[in-house]
Amino acid sequence: MNGAGRPDVPVWLLDVDGVLNARSRPGWSAAPAQRYAHANGLRFKLRWSPALLTEVRNLIGTDTVEIRWATSWVPHIDQVARAMALPDLPLAFTLPSNLAAATDELHEATEAAKRAAALDTVESGRRLLWTDDDAIWPSGPEREHLEAAGALLIAPDERHGLQPEDVAAIRAWLNAP
């Protein structure tokens, strides 16, 4: 299940904020769901499209992709998974537990870890799907390297997160030979 550990199965590095958790309106022409998660004594609102989460859950149950969390929520991912009713998924990386939530230090450490995980994935010979609203290189040699390896890089608008056309692109990419 979830294609874990199979070298022929692509890896999806999945961010939370700005990808699943929309900053304002997730769209998908339906009311958003919302719950709260806690990190370091702070409470954060999570807001998402139920249809998007259904799409993600449907992919989790297959061996077409191995989904790994790649998010600043890594130290508290159980909070997010529980709020969004998602099963346990592997982590793309770990972060020091002493990083405070919602700080520049956490953002910088997370961005570096996400980028290293993306490069490590393609270096290992695995196909890469990476959805992230702000850590994907907009241009430059690293992005070119990932694209040359056949990676699908989706940087959604953080206000809306992944949209139906993004999910269609993901499905098409996963089904491509």
- Cα torsion for 91, 54, 133, 177, to the nearest 10°? 80
What is the pLDDT averaged over residues 97-124?
Answer: 91
List, for residues 112-145, the tens digit of each pLDDT value: 999 999 999 999 999 999 999 999 999 999 999 9
Q: Which residue has the higher pLDDT, 63 or 150?
A: 150
Which pLDDT band holds residue 61 (cuts at 50, 70, 90)? confident
List, for residues 68-81, the tens digit of each pLDDT value: 999 999 999 999 99
Task: List 128's β-bridge partners, or say none.
Answer: 11
Of 118, 11, 129, 130, nearest in space to 66 by CA: 11
Task: Provide, rounded to the nearest whole percent, the portion of the chain with pLDDT above 70.
Answer: 98
Q: Which two tokens stand for residue 109?
A: 């450490």
CA distance 112 to 151: 18
- Residues with Cβ < 8 Å from 7, sequence gap 6 or more? 124, 125, 126
Cβ atoms 128, 151 nearer than 8 A? yes
Tell me which amino acid residue 101 is: A
List, for residues 33-60, the tens digit of each pLDDT value: 999 998 888 899 999 999 999 999 999 9
Cβ atoms 151, 11 nearer than 8 A? no
Residue with tokens 């390297």: 145
What is the pLDDT averaged over residues 13-34?
Answer: 90
Query: Residue 20: CA atoms inside 13 Å, Cβ hemisphere, count?
Result: 28
Which pLDDT band holds residue 4 (cuts at 50, 70, 90)? low
Per-position b or e across 129-142, b if 16+ CB within 10 A of its CB: bbbbbebbbeeeee
Is the pLDDT at 5 greater than 80? The verdict is no
Domains delineated in the chain: 11-175 (3.40.50)
Q: Which residue has the higher pLDDT, 88 or 3?
A: 88
CA distance 132 to 153: 8
Which pLDDT band holds residue 2 (cuts at 50, 70, 90)? low
